[in-house]
Amino acid sequence: MMKYKDIYRASLNSPDDFWADAANKLRWQKPFEHTLDASNKPFYKWFSGGKINMCDNAIDRHVDEGRGDNPAIIYDSPVTNTKQTYSYKQLRDEVALVAGVLISHGLVKGDRVVIYMPMIPQALIAMLACARIGVIHSVVFGGFAADQLAVRIQDSEAKLVLSASCGIEPNRIVEYKPLLDKAIELSSHKPEKCIIYQRPQCLADLQEGRDFNWEEQKAINNPVACAETLATDELFILYTSGTTGHPKGVVHDIGGYAVALNWTMENLYDAQAGDVYWAASDVGWIVGHSYIIYAPLLCGCATVIYEGKPVGTPDAGAFWRVVQEHKVKIMFTAPTAIRAIKREDPEGKIVKNYDISNLESLFLAGERCDPDTVSWSQSHLKVPVIDHWWQTETGWAITGLPMGIEKVPNAMEIKIGSAGVPIVGYDVKIVDAQGQEKDVNEFGNIVIKLPLPPGTFPTLWRNDEKYLIPMTKLPGYYVTGDAGYKDEDGYIFVMSRTDDVINVAGHRLSTGAMEEVLTSHKDIAEAAVFGINDELKGEVPLGLVVMNNDAKLSAKDICPELINLMREKIGPVAAFKLVACVPRLPKTRSGKILRGTMAKIANGEEWNMPPTIDDPAILDEISEALKSMGYPHPIPPPKSQEL
């Protein structure tokens, strides 16, 4: 069996042969003419001339090959006390019917549909139905603010919206229809139809002539077969921003995305047909697109769709209950979810209440995972815990540890703090601002040599100009916007976003490295470090920390310890003197900490409410906390205090 280094080298030296071989593991409607078409750089095309249908490969292929009775979707909803399993045949029949509904309302290949739904099976069925007939979907996670939903409807020029009557939070019901109605009112482009899945917890009022009942529409329509779609056709648009100006609609095509995702399931995650795979995310994020729906189904796995929280539905054992009941083999979530569990169960006592012996690995992504969270997870779950790094733009992992090729930790080492080694097709470099490659263990900008492998974004929706910015900033490379270093064994350490690197008296320092120091303290659950203006040094770091529930020290006593710890680990050069305890940190729904927004508040700069924030009230708490420290202030006073 080939070692990973040999496989990786082959993917860079002979990309056409490597990816053509990977593509042959899927079912093609028409063979591709070119593996890679580089005639219009940097607008590379993979598998041009070929025809392949994502829905056919994710569902119909398995039914045709005798796996129709295998579980495809396992729906687990602690907030509604519901559990339901769809076999591949049942899923195919449901998807074919909903695809028939879409066709009955005049949708044709290339049209756009916005999907605005909670974490229920119908969200996946909606996505697959679009893929079945070549309609481009744009998923907006349920409960998203009306003005931001309007931006996405308007920019995609959606012909139809698929939605649900409500979403269920642990302590409340969120009505979606009023938000959807307001979004359509705000949008200059008006969708022709809305199809609403009525949930019994809250029925929506339907507007006659525009709104239709999901189940009633299914009852009067016929199932349809998979359409012929080009490998280079768009599968979906996923918006990653849009608070002002033109939103950023990341596009992923059908062929390259299918080939890359299918490769990762066996080789990166060590998954085979019949395994239970759980990505504890939301279908509104790229993780949800790639690893709740498309990749597990391409592989023939059962994918878990979970409508709940890591804590509070009902407690910090929620994830382990799902692992035990559904015999999850591979789990994938964000570090923030594990930190939330760790804060409630720092000694891992609740974990011991569950039989999680089926679990073979835990993968983490979304933002950099602090070493303490990896160590806690390994200690209590007794499985390899693998931090891996990727982006909405790439659609799948740039770095990680290929569990399906070389077992961890027997063949490959987990280096805590690292996001692993580059995955096939990604030629990752660490460079300075001028593009000169940095030495081993030297901090710099992380870039990837072009062309990017299949499955990565071929452009942005109707915005080639914005796509060109990271592709041409450093000729021949994709500039990731992340910063870090590479060690002597080729492991990549992603320390922060480039804009999270602060300049303290001429020294470029990673906020990620500082957060790592803070969370190494036994009483600290989470930390955020960001730069604030300083008249003498240009910038100085300010740290906000969340304490564990069973912390031994008081907030007043822990701050001096943290300052001394930073001096010991990073050195006086960090000029770290500002730290305070807060009850919680502001995050997006995918778990990213909003450092940039907090920095703007502290510096007295104008800021907008981030559209993807999980709980806007937290920023009010942070603002008050910063004011009590003396911010915004033209020259920050060097002090720490309890909040």
Q: How far apart are CA 291 and CA 630, in angstroms?
A: 44
Pairwise CA distance, residues 392 & 397, whole Å: 10
Distances (CA, A) of 423 to 91, 198, 290, 376: 32, 42, 16, 26
* Whole-angstrom distance, CA of residue 296 vs CA of residue 311: 25
Give me the amino acid identity at 252: H
SS3 state of residue 600:
helix
Task: State which amino acid sits at residue 564.
Answer: N
How many angstroms separate the CA atoms of 75 and 304, rounded? 6
CB 78 within 8 A of CB 304: no
The DSSP secondary-structure symbol of 204 reads: P
Q: Which residues contact 541 (CB under 8 A, 6 or more apart)?
A: 502, 504, 509, 511, 514, 529, 530, 531, 532, 574, 575, 576, 578
**Residue entry with tokens 């804590």:** 311
For residue 574, give the DSSP letter. Answer: G
Q: What is the pLDDT of residue 633?
A: 65
CA–CA gap between residue 132 and residue 223 (Å, rounded): 11
* Binned average pLDDT, 10 residues per bin, the chain of 643 residues: 90 98 98 97 97 98 98 98 98 98 98 98 98 97 86 96 96 94 96 98 97 98 98 96 64 98 98 98 94 98 97 96 98 92 94 98 89 94 96 97 90 92 98 94 96 98 95 96 94 84 75 89 93 82 93 91 90 88 87 87 87 84 89 54 34
Taking every pair of Cα atoms in the chain, the longest distance, rounded to a whole number of angstroms, is: 72
pLDDT of amino acid 31: 98
Single pTM value for the model: 0.86
Domains, in order of start, for the chain? 4-308+388-483 (3.40.50.12780), 505-629 (3.30.300.30)
For residue 443, give both structure tokens. Answer: 């901090």
**Cα atoms in the Cβ-side hemisphere of radius 13 Å centred on 259:** 29
CA dist., res. 132 & res. 124, Å (int): 12
* pLDDT computed for residue 636 by the predictor: 41
User: Measuring CA to CA, which residue among 601, 594, 524, 525 is closest to residue 559?
Assistant: 524
- What pLDDT does 642 receive? 34
